[in-house]
Chains A and B, each alone.
Chain A
Amino acid sequence: MDAIISADETLFFWINGIAGKVPILDWLMKLLGDDYFVFAIMALVLLFLWFGFRSAAQREINQRAVLCVAAAVGLAAIVIHLLMVYGPDRLRPSDAYPDLVNLLTYARSDPSFPSESAAVSFAFATGILLTKRGILAAAMFLMAVLVCFARLYIGVHYPLDIVAGVAIGILASLAAFGILRLIEPLPTRFIGFMRKLYLA
């Protein structure tokens, strides 16, 4: 276990060591790794998917994708918060090594393990992949990977936190996809009800 933690920290310092050298890269990573930018984009994509369709078949796929992603993100958030409360209370890199970390943002006080950003972004991407596929899923995965890298770059997570977050996000999406199939026809009825109100 010590060897894994040591390798984890070595990789973290290698990536975080790049920070502070190229101002434009720092600015980009701060933007990608912040708490709002990518998540706002992902959520706005869901809003577009709900309303933006050209055929009934496309609408059906899009709205089911939105339900799956919403359920996946909800599940991932629950698991993350349970792990933060009952899991290992790992200090943030900037708290463990205040003099060595290039922290490009404010210091967080919650546990470092696991990464909520990685979990949520991968829950989004996997949810889209499972239900819709195509270029949008690829773009979501690219954004999710960039978020994960940016979180390491700006010094708020260790690689192992990110790996755990990614695993939670993917598993939450698979679980949400399965649950939505299992509880069918409830999702269909929900969309049908929304259609009666001209909201779907």
Chain B
Amino acid sequence: MLTFVGVYFLFIYLASLGVLQIAASYANLNGLSFFRRPNWGYIFGALSIVGGFCWFYIVGNPHPDVGYAITVSDIFRYGWSNPMPPGTGLILGAGESVLFFLLAVGCAFLTTIAFSSIVKFRLSPRTTEEKKVEAPEGLEALREMTFFQAITRILRNGKGKE
């Protein structure tokens, strides 16, 4: 059961990672991008999306002749094993598809903020005091700082108020 869920999860994870890199490049969100040049973000994003789809449609066999819709309780009950008779393909129901889609997107976002924060840890050349005054709110702030730097700013401002 978990094998098919894992294949689907990786598909959405790779595709989301690609979409996030394309969006970061398009919106100039340097703090979310893995690359200095936006073009690399577009290339990585396109490859990641295509790779995700190819992975799922080549490895996942989403068009079986006989399908069994996996439920969340099946996953807990059977884990990695597949008790279905040979020839029965596994599929995901609507609810399970949405659940694992959201989980995969969440993981892709966490990967994006963690990796971009590591590779761009020296992104903002300005001082902390300047950042407090000038940096905009929301995602726009990620044009000049990484997500971790932005979160640190929240924590520092919070402490400053105390």
For residue B2, CB closer than 8 A to chain A, the reply is no
| Contact indicator per residue, chain B 94-106, by CB within 8 Å of chain A (1) or not (0) | 1001000100010
Whether B67 lies near A51 (C-beta < 8 A) is no
Expressed in whole angstroms, the Cα–Cα distance for A164 and B67 within the complex equals 25
Tell which of B8, B12, B26, B89 touches A54, judged by Cβ atoms closer than 8 Å. B26
| 5 A/B residue pairs, CB under 8 Å, sorted by A | A35-B92, A44-B15, A44-B16, A47-B19, A56-B140
Q: Would you give the shortest CB distance from B70 to chain A, in whole angstroms?
A: 12
Whether B65 lies near A106 (C-beta < 8 A) is yes
| Contact indicator per residue, chain B 76-96, by CB within 8 Å of chain A (1) or not (0) | 000000000000010110100
Whether A51 lies near B94 (C-beta < 8 A) is no
Residues of B contacting A39 in the complex (Cβ-Cβ under 8 angstroms): 97
Tell which of A31, A48, A53, A59 touches B22, judged by Cβ atoms closer than 8 Å. A48
For residue B56, CB closer than 8 A to chain A, the reply is yes
- Contacts beyond the supplied A40-B11, A52-B23, A106-B66: 6 A-B pairs with Cβ under 8 Å: A37-B53, A51-B32, A56-B140, A195-B138, A200-B138, A200-B139
For residue B1, CB closer than 8 A to chain A, the reply is no
Tell which of A56, A77, A108, A198 touches B147, judged by Cβ atoms closer than 8 Å. A198
Expressed in whole angstroms, the Cα–Cα distance for A47 and B112 within the complex equals 13
For residue B161, CB closer than 8 A to chain A, the reply is no
For residue B54, CB closer than 8 A to chain A, the reply is no
Expressed in whole angstroms, the Cα–Cα distance for A137 and B147 within the complex equals 31
Whether A106 lies near B139 (C-beta < 8 A) is no
Residues of B contacting A197 in the complex (Cβ-Cβ under 8 angstroms): 154
Q: Would you give the shortest CB distance from B32 to chain A, in whole angstroms?
A: 7
For residue B137, CB closer than 8 A to chain A, the reply is yes
For residue B114, CB closer than 8 A to chain A, the reply is no
Residues of B contacting A44 in the complex (Cβ-Cβ under 8 angstroms): 15-16, 19, 49
Whether A106 lies near B138 (C-beta < 8 A) is no
Expressed in whole angstroms, the Cα–Cα distance for A53 and B23 within the complex equals 8
> In terms of DSSP, what is the predominant structure of the interface of chain A?
helix
Expressed in whole angstroms, the Cα–Cα distance for A34 and B65 within the complex equals 13
> In terms of DSSP, what is the predominant structure of the interface of chain B?
helix
Expressed in whole angstroms, the Cα–Cα distance for A77 and B99 within the complex equals 14
What is the number of residues of chain A that contact chain B, defined by CB distance less than 8 Å? 33
Tell which of B12, B94, B97, B139 touches A59, judged by Cβ atoms closer than 8 Å. B139
Closest to A117 in B: B94
Closest to B18 in A: A44
| Contact indicator per residue, chain B 123-156, by CB within 8 Å of chain A (1) or not (0) | 0000000000000011111100001001100100
| Contact indicator per residue, chain B 11-32, by CB within 8 Å of chain A (1) or not (0) | 1100110011011101111001
Residues of A contacting B65 in the complex (Cβ-Cβ under 8 angstroms): 106
Closest to A45 in B: B19
Q: Would you give the shortest CB distance from A9 to chain B, in whole angstroms?
A: 24
Q: Would you give the shortest CB distance from A65 to chain B, in whole angstroms?
A: 14
Expressed in whole angstroms, the Cα–Cα distance for A47 and B105 within the complex equals 9
Expressed in whole angstroms, the Cα–Cα distance for A182 and B108 within the complex equals 33
Query: Given A47-B105, A106-B63, A107-B66, are A198 and B19 neighbors across the interface (CB < 8 Å)?
Result: no
For residue B62, CB closer than 8 A to chain A, the reply is yes
Closest to A191 in B: B138
Residues of A contacting B64 in the complex (Cβ-Cβ under 8 angstroms): 106
Whether A48 lies near B23 (C-beta < 8 A) is yes
Query: Given A39-B97, A43-B101, A106-B67, are A51 and B16 neighbors across the interface (CB < 8 Å)?
Result: no
